[in-house]
């Protein structure tokens, strides 16, 4: 049987750091208030001369540096992003050009914070059917560019960055299963509506309390779905690598798994919510810090605007 396995991970974070103390200068808020409600202490902000594809490219280079394959062996590029460089072409095509990889297919996936899980699920199918052998999957978002920094409830949450993985075909178990869902009727709870005023920036609007409740309940269900699909018990999961949205959501999922927080990879405090980038950034941190080791079982899960949600169970 053909499996897709993570060959390498990579990440990139912009140089500029926006701390809670910085936000205190322009918003009616405090570091203590932000940390107590979100767990976030700081976040990285994309440079004025940077693009989403620049971040994605640098994360891809980092993954390729750790991998056992050459760039020319990549036969598909998928980028999960909510903040593409342009209306078209896709951010993935821009990354392909920057990597100087010719002719392989490249496309974007838009599922907001669940985007990386969606992209991973698609890539897994390409490999399991034998259609592709080495796939570059990237989550990259510049959320600061769609954030209203006069809105206290939103400005404190978002950060920018990119994370990447290289999936390779193998005969050893890697991605055990993926599960993706959406429910469009809730779109107005978390969205970026288009403005008819050309002088007005399109920015995130969120009904925070309702989104929080939906996220906790939905992620509870996706945990059960994933465990049942693989005939596993909660104790079989070695690591939780979740979307980094809010520390209380992470704690609720860990409680559902009866897992101590020291088995949850947390980057939220340093990165904020980087949307599609958050899971691959957290995974790369978990791997490079030595926390996650070969042969361990990892559960990834995410919830985002749409609503979209999903999970991936992986043997690393």
State how far Cα 17 lies from the chain centre. Answer: 19
Listed in sequence order, the residues at least 6 apart from 57 whose beta carbon sits closer than 8 Å to its beta carbon are 94, 95, 98, 99
CB atoms closer than 10 angstroms to residue 291:
15
Name 165's Cβ contacts closer than 8 Å, sequence gap at least 6: 6, 7, 8, 9, 10, 63, 120, 136, 137, 280, 283
Q: Which of 113, 134, 246, 271 is catalytic?
A: 113
The Cα 140–Cα 84 span in angstroms is 9
To the query of whether residue 179 is one of the catalytic residues in this protein, the response is: no
- By the 10 Å C-beta count (0-12 exposed, 13-18 middle, 19+ buried), 270 is classed as middle
Q: Which of 152, 127, 148, 140 is nearest to 57 (CA)?
A: 140
User: How is residue 32 annotated by DSSP?
Assistant: H
104, 243, 246, 271: which one is catalytic? 243
Q: Based on the residue annotation, tell me whether 113 is a catalytic residue of this protein.
A: yes
Query: Which contiguous run of DSSP H or E holds residue 81?
Result: none
Whether 20 is catalytic is no
Q: Is residue 137 a contact partner of residue 120, using CB atoms and an 8 Å limit?
A: yes
Bridge partners for 216 per DSSP: none
Using omega within 30 degrees of 0 as the cis cutoff, is the peptide bond preceding 159 cis? no
User: So which residues are the catalytic ones?
Assistant: 113, 243, 273
């Amino acid at each position: 049987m053909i499996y897709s396995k993570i060959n390498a991970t990579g990440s990139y974070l912009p140089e500029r750091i926006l701390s809670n103390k910085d936000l205190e200068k322009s918003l009616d808020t405090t570091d203590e208030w932000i940390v107590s409600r979100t767990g976030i202490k700081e976040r990285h902000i994309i440079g004025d001369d940077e693009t989403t594809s620049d971040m994605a490219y640098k994360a891809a280079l980092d993954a390729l540096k750790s991998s056992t394959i050459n760039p020319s062996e990549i036969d598909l590029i998928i980028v999960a992003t909510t903040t593409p460089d342009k209306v078209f072409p896709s951010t993935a095509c821009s990354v392909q050009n920057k990597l100087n990889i010719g002719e392989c297919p490249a496309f974007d996936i838009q599922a907001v914070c669940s985007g990386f899980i969606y992209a991973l699920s698609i890539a897994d199918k390409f490999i399991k059917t034998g259609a592709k052998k080495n796939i570059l999957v990237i989550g990259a978002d510049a959320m600061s560019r769609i954030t209203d920094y006069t809105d206290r409830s939103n400005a404190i949450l978002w950060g920018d960055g990119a994370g990447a993985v290289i999936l390779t075909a193998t005969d050893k178990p890697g991605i055990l299963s993926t599960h993706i869902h959406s429910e469009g009727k809730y779109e107005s709870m978390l969205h970026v509506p288009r403005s008819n005023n050309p002088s007005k920036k399109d920015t995130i609007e969120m009904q925070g309390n309702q989104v929080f409740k939906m996220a906790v309940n939905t992620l509870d269900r996706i945990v059960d779905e994933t465990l049942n699909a693989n005939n596993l018990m909660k104790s079989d999961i070695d690591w939780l690598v979740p979307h980094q949205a809010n520390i209380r959501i992470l704690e609720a999922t860990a409680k559902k798994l009866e897992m101590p927080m020291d088995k949850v990879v947390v980057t939220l405090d340093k990165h904020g919510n980087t949307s599609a980038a958050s899971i691959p950034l957290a995974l790369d941190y978990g791997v490079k810090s030595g926390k996650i080791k070969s042969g361990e079982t990892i559960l990834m899960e995410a919830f985002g605007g749409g609503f979209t949600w999903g999970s991936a169970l992986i043997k690393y």
